[in-house]
Structure 1
Amino acid sequence: MNSVTSLPSDGTVSDLQTGWVSQPDSRGTMGILWSCSSTLFICVWVMLHLNIPARDESFITVTIRKTKWFVMSLLAPELVMLFAGGQWAAACRSVKDMKESGIKDWTMEHAFYAESGGFELHTADMAPFPVTARQLLYLIERGYVSRPHITRAEIWDKSKADRFVKVLAAVQSAWFTLEVIARAAQKLAVTLLELSTLCLMTCTAATLYFWFYKPLDVKTPNTLNSKVTMAEILLRAGEAGKAPYKDTPLDFVEPLDYTSTQFPLNRIWGERRRPLPRIPNDRDSLLHSWNVVVAVSIPTAAFGTLQLIAWNFEFPTRDEQLLWRWTTVANDIVLGTGCALEAAAIIASNYTLSGLRTFNDYKLRWPWSLTFLVPGVLYFVARTITIAEVMISLRALPSTCFQTVKWTSFIPHFS
């Protein structure tokens, strides 16, 4: 039983309250910011699996690259998910090709390790460079290199994945999702920041699924010693080997097309050394089957649909509400167009990788490049406006945003 002692105000006892006192049944703006930012940070931190850096890259260079991709994951999570989906597609294709060639113990871990630059080719007449899984298979089948013997356990031993952090991220994500659902169930307002965090978590979960078998933070690749010179490899390749290469001498086997060299605005991020000392993280892997396109499209659609939930949210002004509606619809149209173009590429290529590469080359030529460049610019503008609206909406929120969930109402009980 609570008791309050009432004595003259000039004493030290009069203002003391004894007994159990519950916490205030409310939350503040800082609490909302902290909840969302901590959830975003841990989810993106766990999700991000970058490719293996070049041997001679400094700690500062690697840190800057990680920071760039961390920020990109926050601002455009669906694009990072698209890159992850492409890598997953390449890994699936690698496992299939290796098994067809008689290498039965080649797993998704091996495929991802190769696709992230885990095998570096050394020849007597060329600077070392990483090879993709398809290029590796080409070299093995022709006897230029011995098959690398590295087990799944050895690959995971090189990985820096922390299971405790992953469990912590899963618990935090589950709690945050449950909190948002509970607020909606009790008719309490959800902020745009919370909804946007939930949207990003959808893309993060899909990205983590695509990168589930990819090793994390591997520092150095395995050396792959060639039995012949690069000049001999190119000579035996015939006409294909005579073509000038853009990234590595094995471009004729599989090119390393990546986004930062496809559009002038991104070239500051592109690697200028040739042959490439590492496989870029933004490699434009081909989505070569319907299964892959569907796997990427579902979380993309979920991301856009969740944003539309805020259609009738309370905004500080009517103009801001209309602007949110227009930008979210524009985002959905652009993302839907991207999925449709990938589907069209599969149909136009007659379901072959060579056909997809031809389609990929055409989309970089005028005027076809406008088909991809214009939606990209529209997406960037719409996404920027959306993020700005999320932040400025915090200046004026509905009063129910600051009420906390009454969890006891979800527990069956007599009253």
Structure 2
Amino acid sequence: MLILFLAYSIFQSAKSEAGPILASIELRDVGPCDGQNSQRSLASLVWSCLSTIFLCTWVAVHPNVHFRPEKQDQRRIEKWLRDPLHEVVTYKLPIFLLALLVPEYILAWAIRQFLQAGVISRKVPGWTRTHGYFMIMGGFHLFRLPADAPSVPIPHESSESSEFVVPSGRHSRKEEVPVCPLTFEDVPVDILEIIVPTETELRDRGKSDALTKLIVLVQTLWFVAQCIARGTQRLPLTELEVVTLAYTTINLFIYTFWWDKPQNVECPIRVYKTPMANEEKTGEKVEEWSRTRVLRWAQRIFKYTIGSQDDRVTISEEPSVPMFWAGRPDERVLFVAGFRPSILGAAFGAIHCVAWLSEFPSRAELILWRISCVAMMSVPFLVIITCVLGVIDRRMEGKTPMWINVTFGICAILLLPSSLLYAASRMTTLVIAFTTLRSLPPAALTDVDWTTFIPHV
């Protein structure tokens, strides 16, 4: 909300400095529509778009559990100011900026988690997709009990004792030592059936319910309905409205895939082991990054682009699950999660073409807008080709034809400049969406006449 407030304040300040210009825009004669349509103010237009974009980039994101152990003897200024501010700047703000610049990546992340949560839920009797989400997002964290804390081992179905225990006596929870987040492979299925809460209890841990999500969806759908209504009455959309329309379209898919995922969970469920338990963990076969700095950065860009960065993470060494962790999905999940968002990403760029023939204040802004639209439609197809070639290369197991290897290498090399081009195009459209507000056509401030949609004689 602070970002929206600052943007609104800056806009109001700019409006007061350019009072005569804006006043002439708002009071200009709009022809035959004056008798039927009311006028909307520039301030209300900007506020409607900014609030909708905020819902699509901040509120709609369902982050993983970013667990932070409690500190002993913490001062109030650290507890109530420094730590929350540090959390926003280092964790929530990067996700927000990525959702603002590359919303397709957030969609790909949501699809990876959706598919992987379904895979996990089918492996445990009685589990739902919400359970799968909670496991993937770092909802279970391993703790070590104090040496003198009494505990009872949790038996397997074979009646053998396991390394996982349940505390059976009094001890201070502050003395428990956090170890690492747990993956599905780390805990036997029969133990998961015992320690995992019900779906209702898991949903209760989230900071959002179905009603809140429904309100956000209604708000975004209402904005889409307004844009459609303006099109039917041949009223122009401002570039800011076109940008917002693109966000709302992709936000509907993000919310659909994350509907069952608990939102903004901060504290995981504690799973215990004794201090003498074995430290070895299952499912920890990870690939290593290259030691060469340039090659390592190229690998990171490639892995994060196709969504396979989880293969390089040693989860037992992490204090919480990584920001875009999706539980090491297999090739099929990676392909689907890379292919579909890229198609929708191309559609996201195509929506900006609604303003292709709009009136721009200058020819430079018109050319930059069109170039950005073409770039945002073209770059996702490069990701599609890379994902397809990557899957083929893995399945061929060393028998891949040379031309596929060469094409795959070229696409992988082009991912870096193309990703920079895409980010620059997104920033360009955002900037132009605001600069064009200085000179709007009169009809752009004409409101929709909703009475024309009501059947009457």
TM-score (norm 2): 0.68
Aligned to 2:160: none
Tell me the secondary structure at the aligned position of residue 270 of structure 2.
strand
User: How many angstroms does 1:90 deviate by?
Assistant: 2.2
Partner letter of residue 204 of structure 1? N
Aligned to 2:321: 279
Change (3 A) 1:283 1:232: closer
Partner letter of residue 409 of structure 1? T
Cα distance in 2, alignment partners of residues 374 and 93 from structure 1: 35
Cα distance in 1, alignment partners of residues 299 and 131 from structure 2: 27
Matched, 1:397 2:397: no
Instruction: Within 5 Å, give how 1:326-345 maps onto structure 2.
Output: 326-345=371-390
Tell me the secondary structure at the aligned position of residue 351 of structure 2.
helix
Cα distance in 2, alignment partners of residues 273 and 232 from structure 1: 13
User: How many angstroms does 1:109 deviate by?
Assistant: 0.8
Tell me the secondary structure at the aligned position of residue 317 of structure 2.
coil
Matched, 1:375 2:395: no
Matched, 1:140 2:191: no
Change (3 A) 1:147 1:400: same
Q: Deviations over 1:338-360 (max 9, x none)?
A: 122223222322299xxxxxxxx
Contact 1:304 1:332 in 2 (8 A): yes
Aligned to 2:84: 59
Cα distance in 1, alignment partners of residues 410 and 85 from structure 2: 39
Question: Quick one: higher RCO (CA 8 Å, sep 6+), 1 or 2?
Answer: 2
User: How many angstroms does 1:156 deviate by?
Assistant: 0.9
Aligned to 1:183: 230
User: Out of 141, 154, 164, which is 1:120 matched to?
Assistant: 141
Contact 1:202 1:302 in 2 (8 A): no
Aligned to 1:346: 391
Cα distance in 1, alignment partners of residues 234 and 225 from structure 2: 14
Cα distance in 2, alignment partners of residues 306 and 191 from structure 1: 13
Cα distance in 2, alignment partners of residues 145 and 104 from structure 1: 10
Q: Deviations over 1:319-350 (max 9, x none)?
A: 22121111111111111211222232223222
Segment drifting more, 75-84 vs 330-339 = 75-84
% identity of equivalent residues: 29
User: How many angstroms does 1:171 deviate by?
Assistant: 2.3
Aligned to 2:451: 408
Matched, 1:252 2:296: no
User: Out of 348, 356, 360, which is 1:311 matched to?
Assistant: 356
Matched, 1:108 2:129: yes
Contact 1:145 1:224 in 2 (8 A): no
Matched, 1:384 2:450: no
Tell me the secondary structure at the aligned position of residue 375 of structure 2.
helix
Change (3 A) 1:261 1:291: closer
User: How many angstroms does 1:375 deviate by?
Assistant: 1.8
Change (3 A) 1:92 1:260: farther
Cα distance in 1, alignment partners of residues 102 and 119 from structure 2: 27
Cα distance in 1, alignment partners of residues 423 and 110 from structure 2: 20
Segment drifting more, 318-327 vs 182-191 = 318-327
Instruction: Within 5 Å, give how 1:211-290 maps onto structure 2.
Output: 211-226=258-273, 233=280, 251-252=284-285, 262=300, 275-283=317-325, 286=329, 288-289=332-333
Partner letter of residue 326 of structure 1? I
Contact 1:43 1:204 in 2 (8 A): yes
Tell me the secondary structure at the aligned position of residue 350 of structure 1.
helix
Contact 2:98 2:106 in 1 (8 A): yes
Change (3 A) 1:107 1:144: closer
Cα distance in 1, alignment partners of residues 418 and 56 from structure 2: 28
Cα distance in 1, alignment partners of residues 248 and 424 from structure 2: 22
User: How many angstroms does 1:69 deviate by?
Assistant: 2.0
User: How many angstroms does 1:281 deviate by?
Assistant: 2.0
Aligned to 1:302: 347
Segment drifting more, 205-214 vs 74-83 = 74-83
User: How many angstroms does 1:220 deviate by?
Assistant: 1.0
Partner letter of residue 410 of structure 1? F
Aligned to 2:30: none
User: How many angstroms does 1:132 deviate by?
Assistant: 2.5
Change (3 A) 1:273 1:227: closer
Q: Deviations over 1:278-309 (max 9, x none)?
A: 11222375462455445434432331221122
Matched, 1:323 2:368: yes
User: How many angstroms does 1:231 deviate by?
Assistant: 5.0
Tell me the secondary structure at the aligned position of residue 283 of structure 1.
coil
Cα distance in 2, alignment partners of residues 168 and 341 from structure 1: 38
Contact 1:144 1:226 in 2 (8 A): no
User: How many angstroms does 1:60 deviate by?
Assistant: 3.0
Cα distance in 1, alignment partners of residues 108 and 396 from structure 2: 20
Aligned to 1:359: none
Consecutive unaligned residues of structure 2, counting only runs of 5 or more, are: 1-34, 71-82, 148-176, 290-296, 305-312, 398-404
Count of paired positions: 356
Q: Deviations over 1:365-413 (max 9, x none)?
A: 9988524322211212222222111111111111110111111222232
Cα distance in 1, alignment partners of residues 220 and 446 from structure 2: 21
Cα distance in 2, alignment partners of residues 149 and 131 from structure 1: 13
Change (3 A) 1:79 1:33: same
Contact 2:301 2:415 in 1 (8 A): no
Segment drifting more, 212-221 vs 23-32 = 23-32
Matched, 1:131 2:186: no
Tell me the secondary structure at the aligned position of residue 219 of structure 1.
coil
Cα distance in 1, alignment partners of residues 225 and 271 from structure 2: 49
Consecutive unaligned residues of structure 1, counting only runs of 5 or more, are: 1-21, 238-249, 353-361
Change (3 A) 1:304 1:334: same
Q: Deviations over 1:238-285 (max 9, x none)?
A: xxxxxxxxxxxx5327999xx999259x9xxxx999821111222375
User: How many angstroms does 1:112 deviate by?
Assistant: 0.7
TM-score (norm 1): 0.74
